Amino acid sequence: MAIDIDSIRDDYPILKRKVNGQPLVYLDNAATSQKPQVVIDSIIDYYSNYNANIHRGVHTLSQEATRAYEQARKKIQLHFNANHPHEIIFTSGATHGINLVASGFTGRLNQEDEIMVSEMEHHSNIVPWQMLCEKTGATLRVLPMNEDGTLNMEAYEDLLSDRTKLVFVNHVSNALGTINPIGEIIQKAHGVDAAVLIDGAQACSHIKPDLLQLDVDFYVTSAHKMGGPTGVGMLYGKDKWLNELPPYQGGGEMIKEVTFERTTYADLPHKFEAGTPNISGGIAFGVAIDHLNSIGFKNIEEYENELLEYATEKLLEIEDLTIYGPSKNKTSVISFNIEGLHPYDVGTIIDQMGIAVRTGHHCAQPIMDFYKIPGTIRASFSFYNTFEEIDSLVEALRKAIKMLT
């Protein structure tokens, strides 16, 4: 199957709207993806036809809602190829999943231990580990990056030691689009008995990770980057780790028995899912995964690579434009600047022409510090974008340059 771009775009109602009197050109997919009608319909269907709390009710609506929610968990398990459905923990997003794991390791680290993050991380995969080091006395090591936006794997091997307990790396850089060699990272970390958490928030709309093949200990992602709703995501954890780590929050649902003397915790996955969850969001997450699989990740990858190559070629025709992180192995993200122009000014002007891009440090300030820049203009493409939209971006940039110089 090849991408039928017209048919696909028809599935996304927001792509029909205008912004500032111009057709919307949405190129901020790395921040959040747009939602297909089938995902929107699933949320409406839940609240219209079987809205009820789950797991605890014996009445029909509760049973229907429970069934749909747990079917979504099973879909996620199968999609990511996890061993068991209970290894999939519903979260509010990737950030929640990272903090859950960081909290669980608070009692497992001491001043002799080291944990490692890469220089390429989103703030959500840096700050929780800094907080963990403050609580435990462990040392935070930084895996450096290269000028081309790849990780320095020689330095990685030098940093690993028997003191390394945890390694944290994103699957794909949100700021640069670089696809990191996570298989090699995981294998080498396991060689020193370190556990690995991979932040997959930027990867999962482009790549279908095989968690069993990767042998990763923890993997997090967010539904809203995959055509699903905001406020829901998943943490995958190996059965062994999830059983060993303590609960992140206390409350209803995560308990087996409560007395004033002691509380015992529920079995997985409920041990980590305190309170009433985002039920409609979890169900819609499963629907979004079905939608992506109906298009096919091979088709998505091929088409987005074509968009990336075309956009790279066209953007580099603009005088004094610099692309950061020109790795050969990347997803459809381009971070760039135009000499003498501030990214914010450019982004504001092209928004008046209906074009949505991201400007700033993209919650990845260490990357900007590495390149000694305040931020970039980031254009990030999805399988529902077109070559004509790239032409519109380039035309708008040329107009912005004339206006600002």
For the segment 311-325, what is each residue's pLDDT rounded down to a tens digit? 999 999 999 999 999
| Same fold? 5-30+296-404, 40-293 | no
**pLDDT tens figures, 40-97:** 999 999 999 999 999 988 999 999 999 999 999 999 999 999 999 999 999 999 999 9
Whether 397 contacts 205, CB under 8 Å: no
**How sure is the predictor about 1, in pLDDT bands with cuts at 50, 70 and 90?**
low
> Would you give the end-to-end CA distance of the chain in angstroms?
46
pLDDT at position 265 over 90: no
Phi/psi of residue 54, each to 5°? Answer: -110, 160
Query: Is 40-293 CATH 3.40.640.10?
Result: yes
pLDDT at position 254 over 80: no
Average pLDDT, the chain: 96
Cα(354)–Cα(17) distance, integer angstroms: 10
Which position among 363, 373, 374, 395 bears the catalytic label? 363
Q: How far is CA 16 from CA 10, 24, 353, 371, in A?
A: 8, 7, 15, 37
**pLDDT tens figures, 373-397:** 999 999 999 999 999 999 999 999 9
**What pLDDT score does 249 carry?**
81
Cα(386)–Cα(292) distance, integer angstroms: 18
Q: How many residues does the chain have?
A: 405
Question: In the chain, where are the structural domains located?
Answer: 5-30+296-404, 40-293
pLDDT at position 264 over 80: no
- Of all residues in the chain, the percent with pLDDT exceeding 90 is 93
**pLDDT tens figures, 184-210:** 999 999 999 999 999 999 999 999 999
Question: Is 133 an annotated catalytic residue?
Answer: no
The residue type found at 4 is D
User: For the residues 245-260, what does the mean pLDDT come to?
Assistant: 79
88-91 and 233-237 strand pairing: antiparallel
Lowest-confidence segment of 131-135, 249-253, 394-398 by average pLDDT? 249-253
Cα(314)–Cα(319) distance, integer angstroms: 11
Q: Give the residue among 337, 320, 300, 311 at the shortest CA–CA distance from 392.
A: 311
Phi/psi of residue 335, each to 5°? Answer: -105, 130
Query: Which strands sit side by side in the sheet containing 321-324, from one edge to the other?
Result: 321-324, 333-338, 376-380, 358-360
What tokens were used for 280? 């409609």
What SS3 class is residue 391? helix
Question: 5-30+296-404 is classed in which CATH architecture?
Answer: Alpha-Beta Complex (3.90)
What SS3 class is residue 257? strand
pLDDT at position 294 over 60: yes
What tokens were used for 232? 């829901």
pLDDT at position 248 over 80: yes
Q: How far is CA 232 from CA 40, 87, 168, 225, 340, in A?
A: 14, 16, 21, 10, 40
Cα(68)–Cα(65) distance, integer angstroms: 5
**What pLDDT score does 178 carry?**
98
